[in-house]
Amino acid sequence: MKELHMDRHRRLRSSSNMRALVRETKLTVDDLIYPLFIVEGENIKNEVPSMPNVFQISLDYLTEEIEELTRLGIKSVLLFGIPKLKDPTGTGAYDDAGIVQLAIKHIKEIAPDMLVIADTCLCEYTDHGHCGVIHNNDVDNDASLPLHVKTAVAQAKAGADIIAPSNMMDGFVGAIRRGLDDAGYSHIPIMSYAVKYASSFYGPFRDAADSTPQFGDRKTYQMDPANRIEAIREATSDVNEGADFLIVKPALSYLDIVRDVKNQFNLPLVAYNVSGEYALVKAAAQNGWVDEEALVLEKLTSMKRAGADLIITYFAKDVAKWL
Ligand code: PBG
């Protein structure tokens, strides 16, 4: 009679060191990008109610924030601005004295090596909360592009290391690439929010950034969560227009998309572990229902396993402490 053959998978799981030896995916602090919300005004440090331990801070708190991040080994930040005044065309986004431009300059003065990534969008700066200018009750694509270009150039001029346009207008990467090149910033890379879904997971962010649309929603410019092939079309356009990094957003419910994009394109791929993903874990952890550290490390490792090279996450500081 033939002897029973059994694969002995457990041989490689026998101890912690053995498991470390054969581990396929590793999460490191170098993979992490930490978002910051900079608010115009003085002496402001407001915790975002739906995002425990995430704060809107004014410029005067930025030094201690950057010092803490540096101590933790975090090397890149993604900046969002919350202006005092909003208007229909989002002037604060591209004003040289706009809040993000001031924050970029400040960080570059105190920590020149910190990589500063500027989110390029208008929704925090427009009084209607949409990511462009409105004509006939909808965002006008081609009329919005020049404003996004102006924003990117103002950010580069202030010293941003990477421009990260998140507005989802058609042609935004090409327009911004040309705008940066013409203004003398051909050396500044574009991290494109190439694949961005119209997601319910952005709710807490809109509290943090004060960017909730005042009418309608973002479904005419952000993608339908049901679509997979369309992600490849979106990313293809951005690659052709000159993107240097691709972002998939949100991350956790879209790991199939992360893998698809990873398989199709050879650019550094970024997963955005968005605000709603953060809030869900925090709420459960505060109730004592989950082991936060284990859960977060598992989630972020899964994003890397799916193909992400980098992760934008509000957990960056915690992860830096745990690793
Ligand atoms: C701006 C922008 C949004 C996020 C990043 N950039 C909000 C939105 O599109 O409504 C969401 C980030 C998060 O939820 O953590 N367009």
Pseudo-torsion of CA 92, 98, 104, 106, nearest 10°? -160
Range of the domain at 113: 25-322
- CATH code of the domain in which 90 resides: 3.20.20.70
Residue 191 falls inside a structural domain: yes
Q: What domain count does the chain have?
A: 1
Establish whether this prediction's ipTM goes over 0.90: yes
**Which residues share a beta bridge with 196?**
249
Distance 250 CA to ligand 1 centre (A): 9
Cβ atoms of 209 and 155 closer than 8 Å: no
Cβ atoms of 312 and 273 within 8 Å: the answer is: yes
Is 241 labelled a binding residue?
no
Tell me, yes or no, whether 144 lies in a domain: yes
User: Per the domain annotation, does 9 fall within a domain?
Assistant: no
Residue 6 domain-assigned?
A: no
pLDDT at res. 1: 65
Contact of 115 with 159, CB cutoff 8 Å: no
Pocket test for ligand 1, best of 50, 124, 205, 274 (most atoms within 8 A of CB): 205
Residue 52 lies in a domain: yes
CA Rg, the chain, in Å? 20
State the closest ligand 1 atom to the C-alpha of 222, by its place in the atom list counted from 1: 9
Read off the pTM. Answer: 0.97
Establish if 11 belongs to a structural domain.
no
Question: 221-266: per-residue pLDDT in tens?
Answer: 999 999 999 999 999 999 999 999 999 999 999 999 999 999 999 9
61-80: b or e for each residue (b if 16 or more CB lie within 10 Å)? bbeebbeebeebebbbbbbb
Q: Which residues line ligand 1 (CB under 6 A)?
A: 119, 121, 123, 131, 166, 202, 205-206, 211, 218, 274-275
Rounded CA-CA distance 240/219 in Å is 24
CA nearest ligand 1 atom 7, residue: 202
Domain-located, residue 179: yes
Q: Report the sign of the C-alpha dihedral through residues 214, 252, 65, 151, in that order.
A: negative
- Give, for all 323 residues of the chain, the pLDDT tens digit: 678 899 999 999 999 999 999 999 999 999 999 999 999 999 999 999 999 999 999 999 999 999 999 999 999 999 999 999 999 999 999 999 999 999 999 999 999 999 999 999 999 999 999 999 999 999 999 999 999 999 999 999 999 999 999 999 999 999 999 999 999 999 999 999 999 999 999 999 988 888 899 999 999 999 999 999 999 999 999 999 999 999 999 999 999 999 999 999 999 999 999 999 999 999 999 999 999 999 999 999 999 999 999 999 999 999 999 99
- Catalytically annotated residues: 196, 249
**Protein residue with least CA distance to atom 5, ligand 1:** 166
Residues 164, 176: contact at Cβ < 8 Å?
Answer: no
In a domain, 19, yes or no: no
The predicted-structure confidence for 151-172, as pLDDT tens digits, reads as follows 999 999 999 999 999 999 999 9
State the DSSP string of 136-202: TTEE-HHHHHHHHHHHHHHHHHHT-SEEEE-S--TTHHHHHHHHHHHTT-TTS-BEEEEEEB--GGG
The confidence score (pLDDT) of residue 301 equals: 98
> What CA–CA distance (Å, rounded) separates 272 from 314?
10
Among residues 298, 301, 310, the alpha carbon closest in space to that of 262 is found at 310
Alpha carbon distance, N-terminus to C-terminus of the chain: 51
State in Å: Cα 202 to ligand 1 middle.
6
In sequence order, what are the residues at sequence separation of 6 or more whose Cβ sits closer than 8 angstroms to the Cβ of residue 194?
173, 234, 235, 237, 238, 239, 243, 246, 247, 248, 261
